[in-house]
Structure 1
Amino acid sequence: MTTISLGYLGTALHAGCASAVARVLDAHEVEVDFVDSDESELPGMLEEGAIDLLVSAWLPRDAHLVQYGMRVLGTLYRPFYCWASFETVSSLSGLSAGEIDVAITSRSDQKQMEVLIGQTDALAGVTVEICDEEALYAAVHAARDAGRKALVFLAQPHALFNDEAFRTIDDPNLPGEMEGCMLVRESVAACADQDMLDELSEMTLGNKVMSAMDHAIQVDGMDPEEAAEAWQRGRLVAR
C-alpha cells in the first residue's frame, strides 16, 4: 500500500492529531492524502469510501461510524465534556447564585450546555454567550480580561487547557471519558503493513499533548504539520 486517505474533522484539534498520525504513515513510506470534513459530511464520505483512516472518532459517541466498513484502531487520547473555568470552583453544586457572570460555549455544544444550565439552580438567569468553535479561546480570555467570572462548557482536550490555571469543574450530570480512536477501513487494513498497524494501535498522544497542539495551531499560528513535528521532537510538552 502506497497511499492512504487520512480523514479528519476540519478543526485545529483534529488537524493536529491527523498530522501526528501522518508522521507514522510517512515513516512507513505511505503517501498521505489529507481529507477534511465537517461532522455532517463525514458519514457520507465514509460510505463512499473517500476515507481510509479516520482521525479521530470519539467512542462510544461516534460508534455509528463503524458501520461504514471501518474498524477501531488504538486509542490516541481520552476526550470528555466538562465545565471548566479560570475561577476557583470545585463543583457546580458548590456554586452560589450570582457567583458566575457568564456561561460560554461553542455553537456545536450550545444545546447540551443549555440543558445542563437548566439543571443547576445557581446558574438560573446567567448570561449565555455562544460563539464559533474557533472563537471560543478568544471569547473566554476576553471575559477574563474584562473581569467577568466565566464558566465554560467544552470538550477536553482544547487549547484553553494548555494553561494549567484553566481547570475542570465536577458535574455528576456529565458522562465520563470517551476514547479518541482511529477508524481504519477493513479493506485497507487487510492489505496494509502489519508493523504499521501495530505502531498505530500503540500510538498515544494524550489529552495534554492534544491541548498543546490545539494551542500551537489556534493561538501560536503553527500549521498542523509544524505542531506535529514539535510534538515528535519533544518541543511541545513533555512526552
Structure 2
Amino acid sequence: MKKIRIGHIGLSFHAASAALVEQVFEKHGWQVENSASPHQEMFERYGRGEVDMLVSAWLPASHEVYLAPFIDNTVKLGVLYHPYCIWGVPDYVPERDVASVEDLLKPEVQARMEKRVQGINPGAGISRFSRAIMEEYALEQAGYQFHNGREEECYGAFEQGVKEERWMVIPLWHPQFLHHRYAIRALREPKGLLGGQDEATLIASKSVVENFSTPLLAELRALSPGNAAISELDYQICRQHKTPRQAAQLWSQRQSLK
C-alpha cells in the first residue's frame, strides 16, 4: 500500500480540509499519515521533506513568504476555497457608526469599543496584517491593543462579547466557524493591508506527485468545497464536537446525495 504524509497548519478549519483530502487518498487505496504544526513551522517541515503534501497554502498573500524557499520542488494541485482576512464587528454594531477601520478612531466609537483586539498565533497571516493595521492607522495611540493568543482565546472572547452585546473588533478570516453561526460585518480597510483574497492551494512535492495515478490526480484537482462548506465543517468540529474525519464524512455523504 502506498503511503502519503499530509501536513496541515494546526487550526481546526485546516484540519477539516485535510480530512477531505485524506478521504480522497483512502478511496484510491493510499495509507495516510496526518500531522499538524503552526503556520511557519509547517512550511519548514514541508521544505525539509517531513511531509509530502501541505493542506493548504494560502497564496499569494498569507503564506507565499513561507513557501517561497521551496517553490521549485512544489506542484500546485488545486484550489480548495478562496480565503480572505477581515477585521470585523458583530452586526449589531451600527454600520452608520462603524463601517471602516478608520471609524475606530471616532471619539464616540472609542468611547464604546473594546480596546483589546484579540488575535491568534503570531505566525498567522491575519496576525501580520493586524499588526500593520495597528501601526498604519495609529490605533495604539487611540488606546487599542492587539494581542496574539490561542485561537480559542480569540473565538471565546468574541462569543462572550456577543452574549453581552459589547462593541468589539475581531481579526478573522473566511472560512471560519464563527461565520456559520454569527453575522460578522467586515470593516472597510482602505489601505489594503489585509492581503485581499487568496487561493487555498493544495500543494505537494514533485517527487510524490509522480506516483499519483491519473484518476487520483483528477479527483484532487477537482476537490473544491468552498468557503461556506469549510466554515460548516469547522463549526461541527469546534462547537458540535465532531472529529475532522467525522465532519468530512458527513459532508461527503450529503454531497453524494445531491
Q: Matches of 1:152 and 1:111 in 2, distance apart?
A: 14
Q: CA deviation at 1:104?
A: 2.9
Q: CA deviation at 1:178?
A: 0.6
1:221 alignment partner, SS class: coil
Q: CA deviation at 1:44?
A: 3.6
Q: Matches of 2:146 and 2:82 in 1, distance apart?
A: 27
Question: How far does the alpha carbon of each residue in 1:32-89 deviate from its partner, in whole angstroms, 9 at most, with x for none?
Answer: 1112222243244223322122100111133416436221110001111111121343
Is the 8 Å Cα contact of residues 134 and 146 (structure 2) preserved in structure 1? no
* Equivalent position of 2:167 in the other structure: 149
* Equivalent position of 1:104 in the other structure: 118
Question: How far does the alpha carbon of each residue in 1:82-135 deviate from its partner, in whole angstroms, 9 at most, with x for none?
Answer: 111213433334553342223332242445324313433688223555431132
Is the 8 Å Cα contact of residues 9 and 38 (structure 2) preserved in structure 1? yes
Gaps of 5+ in 2: none
Q: Are 1:183 and 2:203 an aligned pair?
A: yes
2:189 alignment partner, SS class: coil
* Equivalent position of 1:206 in the other structure: 226
Q: Are 1:73 and 2:77 an aligned pair?
A: yes
Give the alignment's TM-score, normalised by structure 2.
Answer: 0.81
Mapping 1:81-120, distance limit 5 Å: 81-86=85-90, 87-89=93-95, 90-95=99-104, 96-99=106-109, 100-102=113-115, 103-108=117-122, 109-110=126-127, 112-120=129-137
Mapping 1:23-172, distance limit 5 Å: 23-60=23-60, 61-62=63-64, 63-64=67-68, 66-67=70-71, 69-86=73-90, 87-89=93-95, 90-95=99-104, 96-99=106-109, 100-102=113-115, 103-108=117-122, 109-110=126-127, 112-120=129-137, 124-126=142-144, 128=146, 130-172=148-190
Is the 8 Å Cα contact of residues 118 and 153 (structure 2) preserved in structure 1? no
Q: Matches of 2:163 and 2:248 in 1, distance apart?
A: 30
Is the 8 Å Cα contact of residues 17 and 55 (structure 1) preserved in structure 2? yes
Give the alignment's TM-score, normalised by structure 1.
Answer: 0.87
Q: Matches of 1:78 and 1:222 in 2, distance apart?
A: 24
Q: Matches of 1:65 and 1:229 in 2, distance apart?
A: 35
Is the 8 Å Cα contact of residues 52 and 204 (structure 2) preserved in structure 1? yes
Number of residue pairs the alignment of both structures matches: 237
Closer/same/farther in 2, CA of residues 218 and 194 from structure 1, 3 Å limit:
same
Q: CA deviation at 1:139?
A: 0.9
Gaps of 5+ in 1: none
Q: 4+ residue stretches of structure 1 with deviation over 4 A? A: 127-130
Closer/same/farther in 2, CA of residues 119 and 98 from structure 1, 3 Å limit:
farther
Q: Matches of 1:41 and 1:122 in 2, distance apart?
A: 30
Q: Matches of 1:179 and 1:223 in 2, distance apart?
A: 25
Q: Matches of 1:151 and 1:179 in 2, distance apart?
A: 25
Give RMSD over aligned pairs.
2.5
Q: CA deviation at 1:214?
A: 1.5
Closer/same/farther in 2, CA of residues 147 and 70 from structure 1, 3 Å limit:
same
Closer/same/farther in 2, CA of residues 130 and 189 from structure 1, 3 Å limit:
closer
Identity value in percent: 25
Q: Matches of 1:204 and 1:30 in 2, distance apart?
A: 20
